[in-house]
Structure 1
Amino acid sequence: MAVPANITALNLNGKFQMNKSLSDSPDDMLSAQGVGWIKRKAMGAATITVTLTHSKDASGMENLSLVQVVSGGDPAEPEEKVFDWVERKKEIKLFGPCVTKSKRVSLDEVQEPFLKEGWSADTLEHGCILVHLANEGKNGWKTEQTWGIGEVNGERRHVRRICLTGSKGEKLHNRIVYDYLGEK
Protein backbone atom coordinates (compact mmCIF):
# COMPACT_ATOMS: atom_id res chain seq x y z
CA MET A 1 0.00 0.00 0.00
CA ALA A 2 1.23 3.48 -0.86
CA VAL A 3 2.08 5.95 1.91
CA PRO A 4 -0.44 8.70 2.65
CA ALA A 5 0.45 12.33 1.95
CA ASN A 6 1.39 13.02 5.60
CA ILE A 7 4.25 10.48 5.40
CA THR A 8 7.18 12.38 3.93
CA ALA A 9 10.97 12.42 4.03
CA LEU A 10 10.59 14.54 7.19
CA ASN A 11 8.01 12.21 8.80
CA LEU A 12 8.69 8.50 8.33
CA ASN A 13 6.55 7.44 11.29
CA GLY A 14 4.66 4.22 10.72
CA LYS A 15 4.73 0.50 10.21
CA PHE A 16 6.06 -0.84 6.91
CA GLN A 17 6.45 -4.28 5.31
CA MET A 18 8.98 -5.15 2.63
CA ASN A 19 7.23 -5.67 -0.71
CA LYS A 20 9.15 -8.52 -2.38
CA SER A 21 7.51 -8.06 -5.79
CA LEU A 22 8.63 -4.40 -5.99
CA SER A 23 12.03 -4.87 -4.29
CA ASP A 24 15.22 -6.22 -5.82
CA SER A 25 16.31 -9.67 -4.66
CA PRO A 26 18.71 -9.30 -1.74
CA ASP A 27 20.46 -12.63 -2.46
CA ASP A 28 23.57 -11.37 -4.31
CA MET A 29 24.10 -8.54 -1.84
CA LEU A 30 23.73 -10.81 1.19
CA SER A 31 26.15 -13.28 -0.40
CA ALA A 32 28.72 -10.50 -0.86
CA GLN A 33 28.22 -9.64 2.81
CA GLY A 34 29.19 -13.18 3.81
CA VAL A 35 25.71 -14.51 4.61
CA GLY A 36 25.52 -18.26 3.92
CA TRP A 37 23.16 -19.89 1.44
CA ILE A 38 20.79 -21.40 4.02
CA LYS A 39 20.35 -18.09 5.86
CA ARG A 40 19.85 -16.24 2.56
CA LYS A 41 17.10 -18.68 1.50
CA ALA A 42 15.40 -18.41 4.89
CA MET A 43 15.54 -14.62 4.70
CA GLY A 44 14.14 -14.71 1.17
CA ALA A 45 11.12 -16.64 2.43
CA ALA A 46 10.57 -14.45 5.49
CA THR A 47 8.30 -11.44 5.84
CA ILE A 48 10.14 -8.37 7.11
CA THR A 49 8.20 -5.67 8.96
CA VAL A 50 9.76 -2.50 10.35
CA THR A 51 8.28 0.11 12.69
CA LEU A 52 9.82 3.57 12.33
CA THR A 53 9.64 6.39 14.86
CA HIS A 54 10.98 9.63 13.37
CA SER A 55 11.54 12.48 15.83
CA LYS A 56 13.73 15.38 16.92
CA ASP A 57 15.37 15.70 20.31
CA ALA A 58 15.35 18.86 22.46
CA SER A 59 18.28 20.33 20.49
CA GLY A 60 16.52 19.77 17.16
CA MET A 61 18.65 16.75 16.13
CA GLU A 62 16.71 14.27 13.98
CA ASN A 63 16.50 10.66 15.15
CA LEU A 64 15.03 7.54 13.59
CA SER A 65 14.23 4.55 15.80
CA LEU A 66 13.68 1.23 14.02
CA VAL A 67 12.34 -2.09 15.22
CA GLN A 68 12.54 -4.78 12.55
CA VAL A 69 10.69 -8.08 12.91
CA VAL A 70 11.35 -11.09 10.70
CA SER A 71 8.43 -13.55 10.46
CA GLY A 72 9.07 -16.66 12.50
CA GLY A 73 11.86 -14.93 14.41
CA ASP A 74 12.48 -12.74 17.38
CA PRO A 75 12.34 -8.99 16.93
CA ALA A 76 15.72 -7.46 16.29
CA GLU A 77 17.33 -5.16 18.80
CA PRO A 78 15.90 -1.68 18.38
CA GLU A 79 18.20 0.44 16.26
CA GLU A 80 18.73 4.16 16.65
CA LYS A 81 19.90 6.42 13.84
CA VAL A 82 20.99 9.89 14.95
CA PHE A 83 21.47 12.25 12.00
CA ASP A 84 24.77 13.70 13.21
CA TRP A 85 27.23 11.76 10.98
CA VAL A 86 29.06 10.42 14.03
CA GLU A 87 30.39 6.86 13.71
CA ARG A 88 28.87 4.33 16.08
CA LYS A 89 30.07 0.77 16.52
CA LYS A 90 27.38 -1.87 16.42
CA GLU A 91 27.40 -5.66 16.60
CA ILE A 92 24.87 -6.88 14.04
CA LYS A 93 23.81 -10.47 14.54
CA LEU A 94 23.84 -11.27 10.82
CA PHE A 95 27.04 -9.39 9.90
CA GLY A 96 29.22 -9.11 13.01
CA PRO A 97 31.08 -5.93 14.02
CA CYS A 98 30.03 -2.87 12.02
CA VAL A 99 30.34 0.91 12.08
CA THR A 100 27.40 3.09 11.05
CA LYS A 101 26.62 6.78 10.71
CA SER A 102 23.62 8.73 9.37
CA LYS A 103 22.60 12.22 8.31
CA ARG A 104 20.07 14.09 6.19
CA VAL A 105 21.53 15.28 2.87
CA SER A 106 20.47 16.97 -0.32
CA LEU A 107 20.56 14.51 -3.19
CA ASP A 108 23.17 16.83 -4.78
CA GLU A 109 25.56 15.67 -2.05
CA VAL A 110 25.13 11.98 -2.96
CA GLN A 111 27.89 10.67 -5.25
CA GLU A 112 26.50 7.33 -6.48
CA PRO A 113 23.95 7.87 -9.32
CA PHE A 114 21.86 4.80 -8.35
CA LEU A 115 21.22 6.29 -4.90
CA LYS A 116 19.76 9.47 -6.44
CA GLU A 117 17.07 7.84 -8.62
CA GLY A 118 13.30 7.68 -8.24
CA TRP A 119 12.59 10.00 -5.32
CA SER A 120 9.35 11.85 -4.59
CA ALA A 121 9.07 15.64 -4.75
CA ASP A 122 9.22 15.97 -0.94
CA THR A 123 12.41 13.88 -0.76
CA LEU A 124 13.94 16.00 -3.51
CA GLU A 125 12.93 19.14 -1.59
CA HIS A 126 13.88 18.09 1.96
CA GLY A 127 16.67 15.61 1.23
CA CYS A 128 17.06 11.94 1.99
CA ILE A 129 18.57 10.05 4.87
CA LEU A 130 22.11 8.94 4.04
CA VAL A 131 23.26 5.85 5.93
CA HIS A 132 26.81 4.52 5.85
CA LEU A 133 27.36 0.97 7.15
CA ALA A 134 30.74 -0.77 7.08
CA ASN A 135 31.69 -4.25 8.22
CA GLU A 136 34.76 -4.39 10.43
CA GLY A 137 35.06 -8.17 10.23
CA LYS A 138 36.69 -10.49 7.73
CA ASN A 139 34.30 -9.58 4.88
CA GLY A 140 35.21 -5.88 4.86
CA TRP A 141 32.25 -4.61 2.80
CA LYS A 142 30.61 -1.19 3.06
CA THR A 143 27.28 0.26 1.99
CA GLU A 144 25.99 3.73 1.25
CA GLN A 145 22.21 3.90 1.50
CA THR A 146 19.59 6.54 0.80
CA TRP A 147 16.21 6.34 2.55
CA GLY A 148 13.09 8.36 1.89
CA ILE A 149 9.85 8.40 -0.06
CA GLY A 150 10.17 7.25 -3.63
CA GLU A 151 7.92 7.05 -6.66
CA VAL A 152 7.27 3.39 -7.56
CA ASN A 153 4.79 2.56 -10.33
CA GLY A 154 3.11 5.94 -9.81
CA GLU A 155 2.73 5.47 -6.04
CA ARG A 156 4.58 7.01 -3.10
CA ARG A 157 6.43 4.32 -1.12
CA HIS A 158 9.06 4.13 1.60
CA VAL A 159 12.22 3.17 -0.33
CA ARG A 160 15.79 2.35 0.57
CA ARG A 161 18.45 2.34 -2.15
CA ILE A 162 21.71 0.57 -1.34
CA CYS A 163 25.11 0.56 -3.03
CA LEU A 164 27.43 -2.11 -1.63
CA THR A 165 31.17 -2.14 -2.25
CA GLY A 166 32.49 -5.62 -1.57
CA SER A 167 35.82 -6.67 -0.12
CA LYS A 168 37.19 -7.14 -3.66
CA GLY A 169 35.93 -3.76 -4.88
CA GLU A 170 32.82 -5.15 -6.58
CA LYS A 171 29.72 -2.89 -6.61
CA LEU A 172 26.18 -4.13 -6.18
CA HIS A 173 22.95 -2.12 -6.15
CA ASN A 174 19.67 -2.95 -4.46
CA ARG A 175 16.34 -1.20 -4.02
CA ILE A 176 14.02 -2.15 -1.17
CA VAL A 177 10.40 -1.00 -1.41
CA TYR A 178 7.99 -1.10 1.52
CA ASP A 179 4.21 -1.23 1.82
CA TYR A 180 2.69 1.14 4.35
CA LEU A 181 0.74 -0.81 6.99
CA GLY A 182 -0.46 2.18 8.99
CA GLU A 183 0.45 4.05 12.12
CA LYS A 184 2.76 2.35 14.57
Structure 2
Amino acid sequence: MAAPASKTIGDLNGTWVMNKNLSDNTEPGLALQGIGYLTRKAIGLASVTLTVKQYSGPPLPPAAAEAGDCVRIDIEQTATGGIKGTTENRCADGEKRSHSDWLFGTVESSSRFVPAGDALKQAVGGGDYGLDAASIEYLAGSNWLADESEKTGPDGAAHLVSCADNQKDGWIAVQVWGFQTIGGERRYARNIVLKKGDKKVEMRLVYDYIP
Protein backbone atom coordinates (compact mmCIF):
# COMPACT_ATOMS: atom_id res chain seq x y z
CA MET A 1 0.00 0.00 0.00
CA ALA A 2 0.98 3.64 -0.27
CA ALA A 3 3.05 5.19 2.49
CA PRO A 4 0.90 6.87 5.16
CA ALA A 5 1.63 10.49 6.03
CA SER A 6 3.23 9.35 9.29
CA LYS A 7 5.99 7.53 7.41
CA THR A 8 8.75 9.94 6.36
CA ILE A 9 12.52 9.96 6.10
CA GLY A 10 12.46 10.80 9.82
CA ASP A 11 10.46 7.66 10.64
CA LEU A 12 10.87 4.62 8.40
CA ASN A 13 10.05 2.26 11.26
CA GLY A 14 7.97 -0.72 10.25
CA THR A 15 7.69 -3.30 7.50
CA TRP A 16 8.16 -2.58 3.81
CA VAL A 17 7.80 -4.98 0.87
CA MET A 18 9.40 -4.24 -2.48
CA ASN A 19 6.72 -3.65 -5.11
CA LYS A 20 8.06 -5.62 -8.07
CA ASN A 21 5.52 -4.13 -10.48
CA LEU A 22 6.60 -0.57 -9.74
CA SER A 23 10.32 -1.26 -9.20
CA ASP A 24 12.90 -1.60 -11.96
CA ASN A 25 14.42 -4.96 -12.80
CA THR A 26 17.28 -5.61 -10.36
CA GLU A 27 19.08 -8.21 -12.48
CA PRO A 28 21.32 -5.81 -14.47
CA GLY A 29 22.48 -4.19 -11.24
CA LEU A 30 23.15 -7.51 -9.54
CA ALA A 31 25.08 -8.69 -12.60
CA LEU A 32 27.28 -5.59 -12.50
CA GLN A 33 27.95 -6.35 -8.83
CA GLY A 34 29.16 -9.84 -9.73
CA ILE A 35 26.21 -11.79 -8.38
CA GLY A 36 25.87 -15.21 -10.06
CA TYR A 37 23.16 -16.04 -12.58
CA LEU A 38 21.18 -18.49 -10.42
CA THR A 39 21.21 -16.15 -7.43
CA ARG A 40 20.06 -13.24 -9.61
CA LYS A 41 17.18 -15.30 -10.97
CA ALA A 42 16.16 -16.45 -7.49
CA ILE A 43 16.19 -12.88 -6.18
CA GLY A 44 14.13 -11.77 -9.16
CA LEU A 45 11.43 -14.30 -8.29
CA ALA A 46 11.48 -13.67 -4.53
CA SER A 47 9.35 -11.35 -2.45
CA VAL A 48 11.73 -9.04 -0.54
CA THR A 49 10.73 -7.62 2.84
CA LEU A 50 12.52 -4.95 4.89
CA THR A 51 11.95 -4.69 8.63
CA VAL A 52 13.22 -1.26 9.68
CA LYS A 53 14.09 0.05 13.11
CA GLN A 54 15.03 3.76 13.13
CA TYR A 55 16.10 5.39 16.39
CA SER A 56 18.64 7.59 18.13
CA GLY A 57 21.55 5.68 19.65
CA PRO A 58 25.31 5.55 20.21
CA PRO A 59 27.33 5.68 16.99
CA LEU A 60 28.77 2.51 15.58
CA PRO A 61 32.57 2.09 15.50
CA PRO A 62 34.87 3.71 14.44
CA ALA A 63 33.14 6.85 15.77
CA ALA A 64 34.25 7.79 19.27
CA ALA A 65 31.68 7.31 22.01
CA GLU A 66 31.95 10.96 22.98
CA ALA A 67 30.64 11.92 19.54
CA GLY A 68 27.12 11.64 20.94
CA ASP A 69 24.10 9.79 19.63
CA CYS A 70 23.28 9.58 15.94
CA VAL A 71 20.30 8.33 13.96
CA ARG A 72 20.58 4.56 13.64
CA ILE A 73 18.73 2.58 10.97
CA ASP A 74 18.78 -1.19 11.42
CA ILE A 75 17.34 -3.21 8.54
CA GLU A 76 16.57 -6.91 8.43
CA GLN A 77 16.03 -7.99 4.83
CA THR A 78 14.28 -11.30 4.20
CA ALA A 79 13.18 -13.00 1.01
CA THR A 80 11.00 -15.89 -0.05
CA GLY A 81 12.17 -18.83 -2.14
CA GLY A 82 14.98 -19.92 0.16
CA ILE A 83 17.05 -16.77 -0.33
CA LYS A 84 19.18 -16.08 2.73
CA GLY A 85 18.44 -12.80 4.47
CA THR A 86 20.83 -9.95 5.26
CA THR A 87 21.24 -7.48 8.10
CA GLU A 88 22.28 -3.88 7.55
CA ASN A 89 22.94 -1.53 10.45
CA ARG A 90 23.46 2.08 9.45
CA CYS A 91 24.60 5.11 11.39
CA ALA A 92 23.62 8.28 9.53
CA ASP A 93 26.61 10.44 10.47
CA GLY A 94 28.57 10.30 7.20
CA GLU A 95 31.35 8.12 8.65
CA LYS A 96 32.68 5.27 6.50
CA ARG A 97 32.23 1.82 8.01
CA SER A 98 33.01 -1.68 6.80
CA HIS A 99 30.24 -4.27 6.45
CA SER A 100 30.21 -7.83 5.11
CA ASP A 101 27.43 -10.16 4.06
CA TRP A 102 27.02 -13.28 1.94
CA LEU A 103 25.57 -11.45 -1.06
CA PHE A 104 27.71 -8.36 -1.63
CA GLY A 105 30.89 -9.31 0.21
CA THR A 106 32.82 -6.65 2.11
CA VAL A 107 31.88 -3.05 1.38
CA GLU A 108 32.79 0.28 2.91
CA SER A 109 29.67 2.38 3.24
CA SER A 110 28.44 5.68 4.65
CA SER A 111 25.02 7.27 5.15
CA ARG A 112 23.87 10.80 5.92
CA PHE A 113 20.73 12.90 5.83
CA VAL A 114 20.58 15.61 3.16
CA PRO A 115 18.10 18.43 2.42
CA ALA A 116 16.15 18.48 -0.83
CA GLY A 117 17.01 20.46 -3.96
CA ASP A 118 20.46 21.79 -4.77
CA ALA A 119 21.93 20.37 -1.57
CA LEU A 120 20.94 16.89 -2.70
CA LYS A 121 22.57 17.34 -6.11
CA GLN A 122 25.73 18.63 -4.44
CA ALA A 123 25.78 15.66 -2.07
CA VAL A 124 25.61 13.01 -4.79
CA GLY A 125 27.82 14.98 -7.15
CA GLY A 126 30.62 15.36 -4.63
CA GLY A 127 32.75 12.88 -2.75
CA ASP A 128 34.58 10.10 -4.55
CA TYR A 129 31.57 8.83 -6.49
CA GLY A 130 32.73 9.98 -9.92
CA LEU A 131 29.19 10.26 -11.24
CA ASP A 132 28.36 11.99 -14.51
CA ALA A 133 25.71 14.70 -14.85
CA ALA A 134 23.05 12.23 -16.03
CA SER A 135 23.54 10.02 -12.97
CA ILE A 136 23.40 13.02 -10.64
CA GLU A 137 20.13 14.11 -12.22
CA TYR A 138 18.74 10.58 -12.00
CA LEU A 139 19.53 10.37 -8.29
CA ALA A 140 18.53 13.88 -7.27
CA GLY A 141 16.08 15.05 -9.94
CA SER A 142 12.70 16.68 -9.59
CA ASN A 143 10.67 13.49 -9.03
CA TRP A 144 11.20 13.65 -5.26
CA LEU A 145 8.55 15.05 -2.94
CA ALA A 146 10.09 17.92 -1.02
CA ASP A 147 7.32 19.92 0.65
CA GLU A 148 7.52 20.83 4.33
CA SER A 149 5.86 17.60 5.46
CA GLU A 150 8.75 15.61 3.99
CA LYS A 151 11.50 17.55 5.80
CA THR A 152 11.51 15.43 8.94
CA GLY A 153 15.15 14.36 9.07
CA PRO A 154 17.84 16.14 11.09
CA ASP A 155 17.98 19.86 10.23
CA GLY A 156 15.00 19.51 7.94
CA ALA A 157 16.49 16.83 5.70
CA ALA A 158 14.14 15.09 3.26
CA HIS A 159 16.53 12.37 2.05
CA LEU A 160 19.12 9.87 3.10
CA VAL A 161 22.14 9.48 0.82
CA SER A 162 24.12 6.25 1.03
CA CYS A 163 27.28 5.13 -0.74
CA ALA A 164 28.75 1.62 -0.72
CA ASP A 165 32.19 0.86 -2.17
CA ASN A 166 33.30 -2.71 -2.89
CA GLN A 167 36.98 -2.30 -3.64
CA LYS A 168 37.59 -6.02 -4.28
CA ASP A 169 35.00 -6.25 -7.05
CA GLY A 170 35.43 -2.65 -8.18
CA TRP A 171 31.88 -1.29 -7.92
CA ILE A 172 30.19 1.53 -6.06
CA ALA A 173 26.50 2.02 -5.32
CA VAL A 174 25.02 5.45 -4.57
CA GLN A 175 21.45 5.59 -3.26
CA VAL A 176 19.01 8.37 -2.46
CA TRP A 177 16.05 7.49 -0.23
CA GLY A 178 12.87 9.49 0.01
CA PHE A 179 9.27 9.66 -1.13
CA GLN A 180 7.80 10.07 -4.61
CA THR A 181 4.38 10.07 -6.21
CA ILE A 182 4.28 6.80 -8.13
CA GLY A 183 1.14 5.42 -9.71
CA GLY A 184 -0.79 8.34 -8.25
CA GLU A 185 0.20 7.51 -4.67
CA ARG A 186 2.91 8.61 -2.26
CA ARG A 187 5.47 5.85 -1.93
CA TYR A 188 8.85 5.19 -0.34
CA ALA A 189 11.50 4.83 -3.04
CA ARG A 190 15.23 4.50 -3.56
CA ASN A 191 16.96 5.86 -6.65
CA ILE A 192 20.19 3.93 -7.17
CA VAL A 193 23.20 4.27 -9.46
CA LEU A 194 25.63 1.35 -9.65
CA LYS A 195 28.98 2.01 -11.28
CA LYS A 196 31.88 -0.26 -12.21
CA GLY A 197 34.56 1.19 -14.45
CA ASP A 198 32.81 2.69 -17.46
CA LYS A 199 29.64 0.64 -16.88
CA LYS A 200 26.66 1.82 -14.88
CA VAL A 201 23.13 0.77 -14.03
CA GLU A 202 20.35 3.09 -12.87
CA MET A 203 17.34 1.67 -11.09
CA ARG A 204 14.53 2.64 -8.78
CA LEU A 205 13.18 0.41 -6.05
CA VAL A 206 9.69 1.10 -4.73
CA TYR A 207 8.27 -0.22 -1.46
CA ASP A 208 4.78 -0.87 -0.12
CA TYR A 209 4.14 -0.12 3.55
CA ILE A 210 2.68 -3.02 5.53
CA PRO A 211 0.75 -1.80 8.60
* TM-score using structure 1 length: 0.90
Q: How many residues align?
A: 180
Q: Which residue of structure 1 lines up, in the alignment, with residue 96 of structure 2?
A: 87
Q: Which residue of structure 1 lines up, in the alignment, with residue 132 of structure 2?
A: none
Q: Deviations over 1:13-57 (max 9, x none)?
A: 110000000000011111110011111111100000001111122
Q: Which residue of structure 1 lines up, in the alignment, with residue 109 of structure 2?
A: 100
Report if aligned partners of 2:42, 2:81 keep a CA contact under 8 Å in 1.
no
Structure 2, unaligned runs of 5 or more: 59-67, 126-135
Report if aligned partners of 1:163, 1:173 keep a CA contact under 8 Å in 2.
yes
Is structure 2 residue 61 aligned with structure 1 residue 57?
no
Using the alignment, how far apart are the partners of 2:42 and 2:15 within structure 1?
Answer: 22
Report if aligned partners of 1:31, 1:40 keep a CA contact under 8 Å in 2.
yes
Provide the secondary structure at the position in 2 that maps to 1:43. Answer: helix
Using the alignment, how far apart are the partners of 2:22 and 2:83 within structure 1?
Answer: 25
Q: Which residue of structure 1 lines up, in the alignment, with residue 157 of structure 2?
A: 126
Change (3 A) 1:149 1:75: farther
1:76 Cα offset (Å): 2.7
Report if aligned partners of 2:70, 2:91 keep a CA contact under 8 Å in 1.
yes
1:60 Cα offset (Å): 4.7
1:77 Cα offset (Å): 4.1
Q: Which residue of structure 1 lines up, in the alignment, with residue 3 of structure 2?
A: 3
Q: Which residue of structure 1 lines up, in the alignment, with residue 207 of structure 2?
A: 178
Q: Which residue of structure 1 lines up, in the alignment, with residue 133 of structure 2?
A: none
Using the alignment, how far apart are the partners of 1:78 and 1:32 within structure 2?
Answer: 22
Using the alignment, how far apart are the partners of 2:28 and 2:44 within structure 1?
Answer: 11
Using the alignment, how far apart are the partners of 2:157 and 2:186 within structure 1?
Answer: 15
Report if aligned partners of 1:55, 1:63 keep a CA contact under 8 Å in 2.
yes
Report if aligned partners of 1:123, 1:150 keep a CA contact under 8 Å in 2.
no
1:92 Cα offset (Å): 2.1
Structure 1, unaligned runs of 5 or more: none
Q: Deviations over 1:106-154 (max 9, x none)?
A: 23233311111322234466321111001122x2100110112222122
Using the alignment, how far apart are the partners of 2:106 and 2:202 within structure 1?
Answer: 22
Using the alignment, how far apart are the partners of 2:83 and 2:39 within structure 1?
Answer: 15
Output the amino acid matched with 1:150: Q
What percentage of aligned pairs have identical amino acids?
32
Output the amino acid matched with 2:144: W
Provide the secondary structure at the position in 2 that maps to 1:11. Answer: coil
Provide the secondary structure at the position in 2 that maps to 1:20. Answer: coil
Say which of 114, 117, 120 aligns to 2:138: 114
Report if aligned partners of 1:12, 1:53 keep a CA contact under 8 Å in 2.
yes
Using the alignment, how far apart are the partners of 2:85 and 2:28 within structure 1?
Answer: 22
* TM-score using structure 2 length: 0.79
